[in-house]
């Protein structure tokens, strides 16, 4: 009965957002500076995995796919993460080099949506980040054919053990693993407000490559 009751009450789950507001005067002239302000506030609020973002790509069949990845760098050029180039998301990006990112910092009642073209970072940047990863993560990147089927967990662990034995403490970055950078052309900052009258400020690039800001209705 309690399980059935919980299901029936999903429609009644809601929070009236009241913490903060977002006005045009609060925002920086460019979105990545504004993103830096909000990301720093998320870190200062000790939000668990504030660096987690949803990455959405589109496959050759035209269907979208989303997963959580971790941001590893951002600057005026865009947002960077690292993964297996032969994974589903890597194959999607090879086919359609555009993606959407979503950060949801629920404790601050905030979302950030970032859309744009995606490119691979340089081999030097991928090498540098790979070398900074924990040893186990580096070996795992070699051992796992990400997104490919495997018969069992035992077989995956055998692959890991083989890679560990072969490369020891100095595993090289595999050629199929590296970084991507999303170069934004649209960034939206969303701040929850009472009565679902949320604040939404959208940055978009104009024909001259300059950022324009506008308020969107919730």
- As given in the structure block, the two tokens for residue 51 are 């660096």
Let me know: does 93 contact 49? Beta carbons within 8 Å. no
Residue 206: burial class (beta carbons within 10 Å; 0-12, 13-18, 19+)? exposed
Q: Is pLDDT above 80 for 109?
A: yes
Q: Is pLDDT above 60 for 129?
A: yes
pLDDT of res. 101? 98
What b-and-e string marks burial along 34-55, b requiring 16 or more CB atoms within 10 Å of the CB? bbeebbeebeeeebeebeebeb
pLDDT-based confidence at 7, cuts 50/70/90?
low
| Model pTM score | 0.92
Domains and CATH numbers, the chain: 13-130+175-216 (2.30.110.10)
Q: Is pLDDT above 60 for 190?
A: yes
pLDDT, tens only, 9-63: 888 888 889 889 999 999 999 999 999 999 999 999 999 999 999 999 999 999 9
Among candidate residues 63, 110, 181, 196, the one labeled active-site is 196
Q: Is pLDDT above 70 for 4?
A: no
Q: Which residue has the tokens 């100095």?
A: 170
Strands 98-105 and 78-84: unpaired
The proportion of the chain whose per-residue pLDDT surpasses 70, expressed as a percent, equals 96
Q: Do the annotations mark residue 82 as ligand-binding?
A: yes
Q: Is pLDDT above 50 for 1?
A: no
Residue 173 is among the residues annotated as catalytic for this protein: no
Quote the radius of gyration of the chain (alpha carbons, Å).
20
Return the biggest CA–CA distance within the chain. Answer: 61
3-class secondary structure, 17? coil
Q: Do the annotations mark residue 123 as ligand-binding?
A: no
Q: Do the annotations mark residue 147 as ligand-binding?
A: yes
Task: Work out the angle between the directed axes of helices 135-143 and 153-167 (0-180°, nearest 10).
Answer: 120
Q: Do the annotations mark residue 183 as ligand-binding?
A: no
3-class secondary structure, 112? strand
What one-character DSSP code corresponds to residue 6?
A: H
List the end-to-end C-alpha distance of the chain, in Å, as a whole number: 37
Q: Do the annotations mark residue 70 as ligand-binding?
A: yes
């Amino acid at each position: 009965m309690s399980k059935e009751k919980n299901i029936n009450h999903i429609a009644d789950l809601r929070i009236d957002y009241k913490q903060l507001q977002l006005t045009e005067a609060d925002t920086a002239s460019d979105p990545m500076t504004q993103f830096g302000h909000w990301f720093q506030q998320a870190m200062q609020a000790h939000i668990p995995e504030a660096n987690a973002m949803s990455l959405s790509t589109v496959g050759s069949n035209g269907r979208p796919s989303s997963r959580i990845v971790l941001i590893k760098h951002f600057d005026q050029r865009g947002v960077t993460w690292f993964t297996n180039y032969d994974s589903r998301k890597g194959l999607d990006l090879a086919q359609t080099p555009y993606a959407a990112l979503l950060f949801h910092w629920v404790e601050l009642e905030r979302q950030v949506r970032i859309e744009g073209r995606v490119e691979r970072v340089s081999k030097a940047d991928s090498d540098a980040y790979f070398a900074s990863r924990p040893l186990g993560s580096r070996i795992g990147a070699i051992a796992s054919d990400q997104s490919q089927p495997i018969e069992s967990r035992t077989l995956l662990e055998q692959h890991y053990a083989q890679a560990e034995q072969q490369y020891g403490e100095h595993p090289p970055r595999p050629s199929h693993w590296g970084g991507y950078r999303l170069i934004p052309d649209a960034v939206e900052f969303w701040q929850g407000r009472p009565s679902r009258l949320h604040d939404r400020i959208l940055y978009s690039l104009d024909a001259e490559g300059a950022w324009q800001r506008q308020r969107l209705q919730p």
